[in-house]
Structure 1
Amino acid sequence: MRRWWPGGLRARLLVAFVLVTVLGAAAAAWSSAGSAGRALVAAAERGVAEAVTGRIGAVAAELTHPPDQDALDRLRAAVGPGALATYGDLRSAAGTGTDLVTDALRSAVRTGDRLVTQRVAARDGVWLLVGTPIAVTAPDGARTPSGIEVYVARDLADVERQVDGLTAGAAGTAALALPPAVLLALAAARGVLRPVRELRDTARRLAAGDLGARTPPRGADELTELTATVNEMAGSLQASMAALQRMRADARRFAADVSHELRTPLSTLTAVVEVLAAATADVADADARESAQLAIAETQRLVELVEDLMEVSRLDAGTASLHLEDVDAAAAVRDCLRARGWLDRVELLAPDGVGLRVDRRRLDVVVANLVGNALQHGGPPVRVLVGALDDRVRIEVVDGGPGVPQHVRAHVFDRFAKGDPARTRTPGSGLGLAIARENARLHGGDIAVADPTAAGGEGARFVLLLPREQEDR
């Protein structure tokens, strides 16, 4: 049933409406035809019974008792064709159908004093059998059974044909109801589904980002209530999204303003702590030298955090731009490692001649963040593998450390994310991987955490994919 039942709402409405209309018309026509057919059969039975009763009454007074064969023949001839008259062993029959008289009909006639009818089905159709006993009336009015029985068989073929005509008419009436039912169903479906289509279009516009989309309610039915509810939901969503956008814009502006305001005092503070470090380099007090070095390290860490915040602000604001140039991927990665003194700590496996069109400075930031993360949080050996695919370049950073737990992978690129919540003090700003991924996506690429490849399933593996060719933007 589910396979053949239409799936669309319009089709289901059409089929249901047409089925209800046609079945209702067919049921009404069929009921009318049945009632008319039963009335025809009953009228035919009454007509035959009255005719038989009248003819028997016309000759019954002339019958002698007990009757002989001639008397039975006269009685049978008076009743007409298809009649059978019996008295004891005497029998007078003429016409067709008399052989259809059943034992049940004979028994009912012999044990009663009234006319009995019965319908029987034969090979050539339906027959009506009528049986009646004949009573003898005494001078005092007393009636006693004479023993004479009369049976009449009448073919109901004409009546059956009339009933068949009524049935055919009922079927035709149901068929004639089909086209109007389809037209009414189309009109009803169009009226019912128009609000549904409008709601669908509004939902699509909302899904596409048009939060001002609304459907004007019409009428006062359930669909109107649904439309009003959807409009209220859309209004609430629009207000929530507007508040969220304001909050995000305020947060970005706050981060950018704070970062900008911190740059000048941090530059001055860096210069001061460097002078302090130089002044305490020859001081014999070890605690003073350690305090100066700690101040320099923390100041540098604060400078890096401010620079990262400013970079994040530019990426969020969409003001970050690419300065594309053609570079050799292996040479760019090697330069990044050399600039930070990592060549002796990182193994580079990169074939020469892998061309790449990127912003060299941003690629340096991405690689530096990935390798720096492996050196700080992973373990040796740290390897960088560069390979060329059909239309992309694959840069893979692998370390031999404890790896990235499965439950942390989904959040490893979040801002200020920490793999171990217990480590409240970690080197770096906590924005390195987030900035790396934003820069990769700015190029049309991406970074993902892949399954570990080191022995025992340990080690972290970050895979950077960048398109080899792209247009200037």
Structure 2
Amino acid sequence: MIRRLRGLRTRLLVTFVLVAVLGATAAAWSSAASASGSLVTASQRQLSETLAGQIGAVTPQLTYPPDQATLDLLRGTVGGDTVVTYRDLRSASGADIELITDAVREAARSQNRLVTQRISAKGTAWLLLGTPVMITAPDGTRTPSGIEVYAVRDLTSVQEQINSLTRTAAVTSALVLPLAVVLALLAARTVLRPVRKLRDTARRLAAGDLDARSPPRGADELAELTVTINEMADSVQTSMTKMERMRADARRFAADVSHELRTPLTTLTAVVDVLAIVAEDMEADARESAQMAISETHRLVQLVEDLMEVSRFDAGTAKLRLEYIDAAEAVYYCVRARNWLGQVDLMARGETRQWLDRRRLDVIVANLVGNALRHGEPPVRVRVSADPEWLWVEVVDNGPGLSEEVLPHVFDRFYKADAARTRTPGSGLGLAIALENARLHGGDLVAGNAKRGGARFVLRLPRDLEDA
């Protein structure tokens, strides 16, 4: 029972009661408006009935057709601010009769009954009344006599009563509002304090602080939610710790294996180099086997080198060794060293001298051009350009380009666009290493397709690396 009374639902109900108090204030304004409308309607009805009664009392004394004296008699009976007309005859009194509108006259004549219109003029509310005088025959038939009566009545007293009602509603609202605000603030503070604490805890968890927790308070639904979130955070922290440990073990394993393989692979490389020299004198079958062994050994050496490079990126130990070099010249030497000049179209534009890591730039360009030659078609176009902020290296091949399925994964490690190409040259890490080297420089590497076809890779490196 105590828990139910202290629960979040109870506090919400209290909050809704406070909202109802504010609703009552709105109802007071609505009531005032309704009362004002009723007051105006009642006043209009009373004035209309009074005018009709005055005309009805004097109608038997009138002569038809009426003369000026008859009109004066009728106007005097109705009172001031009145106009009585009959064809060209007219009897009027009062300074406000000019307020009578043509709309009232037309309505009285066309409808043959008493009509009214409320207007505002001279800063005052007025009621205009107009009615024809009807002649009742012995058989009860009523016909217009041609006499028309128009009157103007001041509604100032009614407007003052309406203003009084409005002021009363305003005072009531002004008295209720501060109390309602205070109570609402207190209720909101009580309800929202634990919610804000949960929000802060969630933000800390999202920012990577897996030790963030919120101590549960009370015994309501928010306390239960806090306990659930804390349990979830414990589970996530345990899972993340295990995952991080597994990743660290995997990185360490790859680095250790690569390091341990380096020495025997160096020896094996020396052996296959000797084997390459004597392979030409072997029988055809033996020569083919030897060449396959040589090729696979070089591929294995490259894979181990790439794994060691990746492990350095993962461990955060990869560092830049900056030199002030001509980037366009470095790209040329990269292509020439691999005997690709006949398949590559080189072009440089702008001043391309800047601070760069020559070896890592060579790795990026070699991977991009080599990938273009393997999976595209020559000639491969390489463009080097620069502006005040960035150095750009664009590599475009003449192949079919990158499909929509391949494009999101081109920089993934060991990704093969075609499962049948698992034995193609390369380690499957080249583009991933190129991207890491670009980011190590503070730049980026993006893949796409050229407008005229072919895969297009764009390397972007910042020009302000002299202080790095």
Q: Shorter-chain TM-score: which interval? A: 0.5 to 0.7
Aligned to 1:444: 442
1:159-192 Cα offsets, whole Å, 9 max, x none, are xxxxx99999898566433222211111111111
Structure 1 residue 380, shift from structure 2 partner: 1.3
Letter of the 1:272 counterpart: V
Q: In the aligned structure 1, how far is the partner of 2:21 from the partner of 2:276?
A: 97
Aligned to 1:340: 338
User: In the alignment, is residue 231 of structure 1 matched against residue 230 of structure 2?
Assistant: yes
Aligned to 1:396: 394
**Pairing partner for 2:290 from 292, 311, 327:** 292
Q: In the aligned structure 1, how far is the partner of 2:29 from the partner of 2:373?
A: 89
Structure 1 residue 26, shift from structure 2 partner: 8.1
Structure 1 residue 277, shift from structure 2 partner: 2.9
- Percent identity for Structure 1 against Structure 2: 67
Structure 1 residue 324, shift from structure 2 partner: 1.0
1:321-350 Cα offsets, whole Å, 9 max, x none, are 001111111101001111111112211011
Structure 1 residue 248, shift from structure 2 partner: 0.8
1:429-461 Cα offsets, whole Å, 9 max, x none, are 00000000000000011111123232xxx3111
Aligned to 2:370: 372
Structure 1 SS opposite 2:423: coil
Q: Is the 8 A contact 1:393 1:465 kept in 2?
A: yes
TM-score (ref. length: structure 1):
0.64
What 5-or-longer segments of structure 2 have no aligned partner? 1-11, 32-162
Aligned to 2:460: 465
Aligned to 1:278: 277
Shift in alpha-carbon separation, 1:374–1:166, aligned structure 2, 3 A: closer
Aligned to 1:21: 21
Shift in alpha-carbon separation, 1:27–1:254, aligned structure 2, 3 A: same
Structure 1 residue 306, shift from structure 2 partner: 0.2
User: In the alignment, is residue 329 of structure 1 matched against residue 324 of structure 2?
Assistant: no
Q: Is the 8 A contact 1:328 1:352 kept in 2?
A: no
1:43-94 Cα offsets, whole Å, 9 max, x none, are xxxxxxxxxxxxxxxxxxxxxxxxxxxxxxxxxxxxxxxxxxxxxxxxxxxx
Q: In the aligned structure 2, how far is the partner of 1:324 from the partner of 1:13?
A: 68
1:200-250 Cα offsets, whole Å, 9 max, x none, are 111111121111111111111111122122212222221121111111101
Q: In the aligned structure 2, how far is the partner of 1:316 from the partner of 1:177?
A: 65
Letter of the 2:315 counterpart: A
RMSD: 3.0
Aligned to 2:213: 214
Between stretches 237-246 and 21-30, larger displacement belongs to: 21-30
Q: Is the 8 A contact 2:255 2:311 kept in 1?
A: yes
Shift in alpha-carbon separation, 1:452–1:29, aligned structure 2, 3 A: closer
Structure 1 SS opposite 2:212: coil
Between stretches 239-248 and 362-371, larger displacement belongs to: 239-248
Q: Is the 8 A contact 1:381 1:399 kept in 2?
A: yes
Shift in alpha-carbon separation, 1:453–1:25, aligned structure 2, 3 A: closer
Q: Is the 8 A contact 1:199 1:227 kept in 2?
A: yes
Shift in alpha-carbon separation, 1:227–1:287, aligned structure 2, 3 A: same
Q: In the aligned structure 1, how far is the partner of 2:28 from the partner of 2:219?
A: 34
Structure 1 SS opposite 2:402: coil
Shift in alpha-carbon separation, 1:254–1:173, aligned structure 2, 3 A: same
Q: In the aligned structure 2, how far is the partner of 1:422 from the partner of 1:291?
A: 22
1:245-288 Cα offsets, whole Å, 9 max, x none, are 111101100100110111111111112222233233323x1111
Structure 1 residue 471, shift from structure 2 partner: 4.4
Aligned to 2:243: 244
Number of aligned residue pairs: give it.
Answer: 328
Structure 1 residue 373, shift from structure 2 partner: 0.3
Letter of the 2:465 counterpart: Q
TM-score (ref. length: structure 2):
0.65
Q: In the aligned structure 2, how far is the partner of 1:453 from the partner of 1:25?
A: 68
Shift in alpha-carbon separation, 1:267–1:212, aligned structure 2, 3 A: same
Shift in alpha-carbon separation, 1:393–1:25, aligned structure 2, 3 A: closer
Shift in alpha-carbon separation, 1:17–1:186, aligned structure 2, 3 A: farther
Structure 1 residue 352, shift from structure 2 partner: 6.1
**Pairing partner for 2:306 from 297, 308, 313:** 308
Q: Is the 8 A contact 2:198 2:226 kept in 1?
A: yes
Aligned to 2:358: 360
Structure 1 residue 27, shift from structure 2 partner: 7.1
Q: In the aligned structure 1, how far is the partner of 2:385 from the partner of 2:29?
A: 81
Q: In the aligned structure 1, how far is the partner of 2:218 from the partner of 2:323?
A: 63
Q: In the aligned structure 2, how far is the partner of 1:401 from the partner of 1:390?
A: 32
Letter of the 1:470 counterpart: L
Letter of the 1:434 counterpart: A
Letter of the 1:177 counterpart: V
Letter of the 2:464 counterpart: E
Larger radius of gyration: 1
**How do residues 48-197 of structure 1 correspond to structure 2 at under 5 angstroms?**
175-197=174-196
1:347-376 Cα offsets, whole Å, 9 max, x none, are 101136312221111000000000000111
Structure 2 SS opposite 1:348: strand
Q: In the aligned structure 2, how far is the partner of 1:14 from the partner of 1:407?
A: 57
Structure 2 SS opposite 1:266: helix
Shift in alpha-carbon separation, 1:189–1:471, aligned structure 2, 3 A: farther
Structure 1 SS opposite 2:447: strand
Structure 1 SS opposite 2:219: coil
